[in-house]
Structure 1
Amino acid sequence: MITDVHTHFWTPDHQGSPWSDGLQRVNRKLSEEEIDRVTLESYTQRVAPAERTIVFGLQALASGIVVPNDAIADFVRKVGGHTVGFMSVDPTRHDACDEIERCHAELGLQGIKLGPIYQGTSPLHPLTLRVFKTAERLGLPVMIHQGAVFASAGRLADSVALLLDDVAIAFPDLRIVIAHMGHPWIYETVTVMRRHANVYADTSAIPSRPTVLANALVAAKEYGVLHKVLFGSDSPMVSAESAVDGLHKVVTQTRRHGYTAITDEELHELLHRPAFELLGITDPVTEPALDLAPTSS
């Protein structure tokens, strides 16, 4: 069963400048559809062949995007099946931790999506640290965008993956997923993963940068953390089908061009990693498995 740990829900109503301006610079070669709007129909099309998914929005006042967590919970109910929702909170809001408590207790959201650079802050700022502390206390995994961005908010110096070493030291029981392998800081990402048992990374977005993806996978294997790399697409920016295809092509490259080779078995394990179990997520459906792909008429 393929689990996609990185998918989005939002509509144009949730997005303003500078986010909406920067979105025009996103590479669209792996997604032919509009990327600023997600519907139930488009979502089920774009996440196939994944059978389990994690979906979230983003709350980043500095970047001009605020997706209500209630909208995420409602979307999860509509999708049904093996899809779970993560909340997002902006650490710069005074009520961020209260919102985490509410979303966990009342909405059933099972994790947190953060993007400190989008939110105009740092993972080491006291306001962000209180979010990590709350997440650890509640047993909620955190998906964090710690890498390059298309938007103009924040400082790149605050998005370097190495900063998460301090976070993992302070909160050793907190499960962290570094989105997009922390690109372009892929080597910093894998070294942090190597030091900390509860730090993972996902492959989302970077199939559109095949050389970066190849180097990231090889580095993960050479540092002994390939087993902690999770499959993610970044839908709607990259469809799951395109992401899977991109991984297959990159793995072939590692064999042709003198890289440390990624084997077919290792790729199969990556695609079928039990991400829910590793992150402590409760699957809303156990039997039978629900196929999210749209049925043909």
Structure 2
Amino acid sequence: MTARAYCDCHVNIYNEEHILPLYWTLHGRVRKGELSHQSDADSLYTAMADVEKAIIFTLRYADAIGVEGNDELTAAAVKKYPDKFVGFAYVDPRRPDYMDMLHHAIEDLGLKGVKFGPIYNGVHLSDPRLEPVYEYLQKHNIPLTMHMGTTYARNAPVELGRAIHVEPVALKYPDLTMILAHMGHPWYDEAIVVARKQPNVWLEQSALFYRPWQYYNMLVLAEEYRTADKIFFGTDFPFAGVAESADGLININKQVEGTNLPRVSEETIQSILWSNPFKTWWKGDNPLA
């Protein structure tokens, strides 16, 4: 039986024309095994058959991993499959028109959240260019998902992927919902302790199951810090699929069978699989309503 989940909160959308030569140059550093490179709306709809909802966003990582999409693509996918997709905008604060693009994405295209990769755009979370972004999102009750953790891309300053930099922003903007993608790997301890301290910071575990020892340790640590209930399910499709991501979570304890090592509880496993961001990330404003 195929493992299921309620929502995949981390799905990348782009068409073939958005993939640049750099993407193929770097591909050897991505996880081993066969990966799908089809991430257009129709391919996503098929890939997301085993989830009720999928949060989708494009990437603007042209100079980091060689993908440069646009918010219109995301909005068109939501329009085509409104019962499956919820769209997030992407903000790149290096662009001179980034705030105009953000206003357009939210106010004209109707996207419901924002994605940002500080490590991929080379912009620190404390950069003044991000202040109007934070202010706008907080004012309009719009969640912000951020890539937190390392990457295989050479042109991506690794220091900018550390979740420790999130806390000052969370304190300054206490009503801004912030989601730390990939649980800050390999600095997952930082992500967990920040999420534990700050009520407006959440975690998601996309693209982690294929490093099972690291994944196991971060889930055990999250339980020890009583933060496991703040973790949401995601895949990072097309870099990982729904079934393999769900199976990797369900079977996380197999690697410690026959040992005295602690087990990740069934309660934690099920709470992640059936996590519902639409009840949490928007304060009193469910985007599905």
> Which sits farther off after the overlay, 119-128 or 141-150?
119-128
RMSD: 1.9
> What TM-score comes out, normalization by structure 1 length?
0.89
1:59 deviates by 1.6
Distance 2:83 2:101 in 1: 25
Aligned equivalent of 1:295: none
SS at match of 1:168: helix
Residues 1:78 and 2:80 are matched in the alignment: yes
Query: What per-residue deviation string (whole Å, max 9, x for no partner) do you get for residues 4-55 of structure 1?
Result: 10111112311325444223421143xx4422x3134421332232111100
Corresponding residue of 1:101: 103
C-alpha distance in 1, partners of 2:176/2:271? 24
Matched with 1:56 is 57
TM-score (normalizing by structure 2): 0.91
Structure 1 match to 2:229: 227
- Identify the range of structure 1 (50-59 vs 13-22) with the bigger mean alpha-carbon deviation: 13-22
1:58-113: per-residue Cα shift (whole Å, max 9, x none)?
Answer: 12353243211011100122222132000101011122122111111111100001
Q: Is the alpha carbon distance of 1:207 and 1:72 closer, same or farther for their aligned partners in structure 2, counting shifts above 3 Å?
A: same
Q: Could you say if the C-alpha distance between residues 112 and 205 of structure 1 is closer, same or farther in structure 2, counting changes exceeding 3 Å?
A: same
1:289 paired residue number? none
Residue number in structure 2 paired with 1:217: 219
Quick one: which of 191, 194, 208 aligns to 1:192? 194
CA deviation after TM superposition for structure 1 residue 283, in Å: 4.4
Q: Could you tell me which of 11, 14, 17 is aligned with 2:15?
A: 11
Aligned 8 A contact 1:54 1:85 in 2: yes
Aligned to 2:138: 136
Q: Which shifted more, 123-132 or 203-212?
A: 123-132
The alpha-carbon deviation at position 265 of structure 1 amounts to 2.5
Distance in 2 separating the partners of 1:142 and 1:132: 9
Gaps of 5+ in 2: none
What is the DSSP-based 3-state SS (H/G/I as helix, E as strand, rest coil) of the residue aligned with 1:153? coil
Change (3 A) 1:144 1:257: farther
Is the alpha carbon distance of 1:33 and 1:167 closer, same or farther for their aligned partners in structure 2, counting shifts above 3 Å?
same
What are the within-5 Å matches in structure 2 for residues 14-53 of structure 1? 14-29=18-33, 32-35=34-37, 37-53=38-54
Structure with higher RCO (Cα < 8 A, 6+ apart): 1
Paired with 2:273 and 2:133, the residues of 1 have a C-alpha distance of 30
State how far apart, in whole Å, the 2-side matches of 1:28 and 1:282 are: 38
Deviation of 1:227 (Å): 0.3
The corresponding residue for 2:274 is: 272
Paired with 1:116 and 1:44, the residues of 2 have a C-alpha distance of 28
Query: Contact 2:13/2:41 (CA < 8 Å) preserved in 1?
Result: no
CA deviation string 1:105-147 (max 9, x = no partner): 1111000010011112211111123322221122110110021
Letter in 2 for 1:62: D
**1:293 corresponding residue in structure 2:** none
Per the TM alignment, residue 152 of structure 1 is displaced from its structure 2 partner at its CA by 1.6
Matched residues in 1 for 2:72 and 2:89: separation? 9
Deviation beyond 6 Å, 4+ runs, structure 1:
none
User: 2: distance between equivalents of 1:258 and 1:233?
Assistant: 30
Unaligned stretches of 5+ residues in structure 1: 287-297
Distance 2:27 2:141 in 1: 33
**Secondary structure in 2 matching 1:193:** helix
Q: Which moved more, 1:7-16 or 1:205-214?
A: 7-16
1:276 deviates by 1.2
Percent identical? 29
CA distance in 2, matches of 1:153, 1:5: 26
CA distance in 1 between counterparts of 2:8 and 2:259 reads 28
Separation in 1, partners of 2:111, 2:32: 29
